[in-house]
Chain A
Amino acid sequence: MRRWLRSLAAFGYDFVIGDDWLLPLAVLIGLAASYGLAHAGLLAWWPLPVAVAVILPVSLWRAIRGKRRAD
C-alpha cells in the first residue's frame, strides 16, 4: 500500500510539475488572472495564452542554459 501511494505521488509530481516547475506556476497565474477578470465582468480569455507565450520561451532558455552548464 505504501509503495503504491509512493508511486502514485511520484506519478502526480511528474504529471503536474514535470521538468520545469515554472510551467505549472505560469498556468496557475494565468488561470487566476482569467478568473479575476471574468468575475469582474471584463474580457478574460487572454491571460492564459499570454502566460503561455511568455513562459514557453523562458522555460526553453532555462533548459538550454542548464544543458550547456552540464556539458
Chain B
Amino acid sequence: MTGGAGALFLAVFLACAVEGVEATTIVLAAGTARDWRSAGAGVLAALAALAVVVGALGPAVSALPLTGLRLVIGALLLVFGLQWLRKAILRASGFKAVHDEDAIYRRQLAEAAEAAPAAGGTARRRVDGYGFTLAFKGVLLEGLEVVVIVVTFGAGQHALGLAAVAAACAVLLVAAAGAAIRAPLARVPENTLKFVVAIMLTSFGLFWGAEGAGAHWPGSDAALLGLIPAVAVAGLALTAVLSRRHARLGRG
C-alpha cells in the first residue's frame, strides 16, 4: 500500500469509526432499555433501506440532503430523549413509580400474545415501536454518512474499493466492540441504564438537531464529549433537588 493509499485508508477508517460509534451507541441504548429483538429489526430494516438507496443512487448518494435528515432525526431523538430523561429523574427522585413503564410494556406483550391465533400457532411477539424506530433512525443516518464518506474520499482519489474496505473494517470493528459490551451492560441496574440511555439520546439529539439547523459545534464531533457530561450533570442535579423535595413532602 502506497503512502497516499495508506493515508486514505486511515482517514476513511477513522471517520467511519466515529460514525459507527454513534450508531452503535443508539442501537445499544434502544436494545438495552427497550428490546433487543426490536432494535435488531430496526438495524436490519435500516441496512436494507441503505442498500436500496445506495443501489438506486450509486455515487449520486453524496447529493442526498443529509442536513435535512440530521435535523429531523436530531429533533425526534431530542424530544424522545427529553421525555425519557424527565421520567428517569421523576423515578430516581421518588415522584414516579419505578416499574410503571415496564408493567405497561408487559401488558402490551401479553395482549399481543392473546390476540395471536390460538389454534395450533405460537403467539407472535409484537415488535416494540420505540426500540425499532430508534435503532432504525440511528443506523440509517450514520450509515448514510458512512456511504457519503466512502464516496467523497474514494472518488476523490479514484480508490473507491479501498475506501469501501476501510469503511467496512471500521464498522465491523465498532460493531464487534458493541456486541462485546452488551453482556456487561445487562448487569447494570435497569433504572440506572434507562437514566444513562436518556442522557445519551438527549445529547445526540442536541448535537444532530443543532447541526441539522445549520449550526457548527465547537470542536465538531468532539463536542459530544462535552455535551454528554453536561447533560448528565444537569440530570443528576435535578434528581438531587427533587429527591430532597420528595423527602420533605414525605415528612410533612
Contacts and interface: CB of A to CB of B under 8 A. Distances in A.
Interface residues of A, number: 35
A57 B238 CA distance: 7
Size category, B interface: 35 or more
Contacts, number: 104
Chain B contact surface mostly: helix
A45 B215 contact: yes
Interface in B202-219: 202, 205-206, 209-210, 212-218
A52 B86 contact: no
Interface string B88-102: 011000011000000
A40 to B, nearest CB: 10
B153 interface: no
Contact of A63 (B80, B90, B213, B214): B90
A47 B223 CA distance: 15
Contacts of B78: 27, 48, 52
Contacts of B231: 52
Interface string A14-44: 0110111001100110111011011100011
A38 B141 CA distance: 22
11 contacts: A15-B129, A23-B86, A34-B210, A43-B215, A44-B210, A44-B213, A44-B214, A45-B210, A52-B82, A52-B202, A60-B90
Interface of B: 71, 75-76, 78-80, 82-83, 85-87, 89-90, 95-96, 129-130, 133, 202, 205-206, 209-210, 212-218, 223, 227, 230-231, 234, 238, 242, 245, 249
Interface of A: 11, 15-16, 18-20, 23-24, 27-28, 30-32, 34-35, 37-39, 43-45, 47-49, 52-53, 55-57, 59-60, 63-64, 67-68
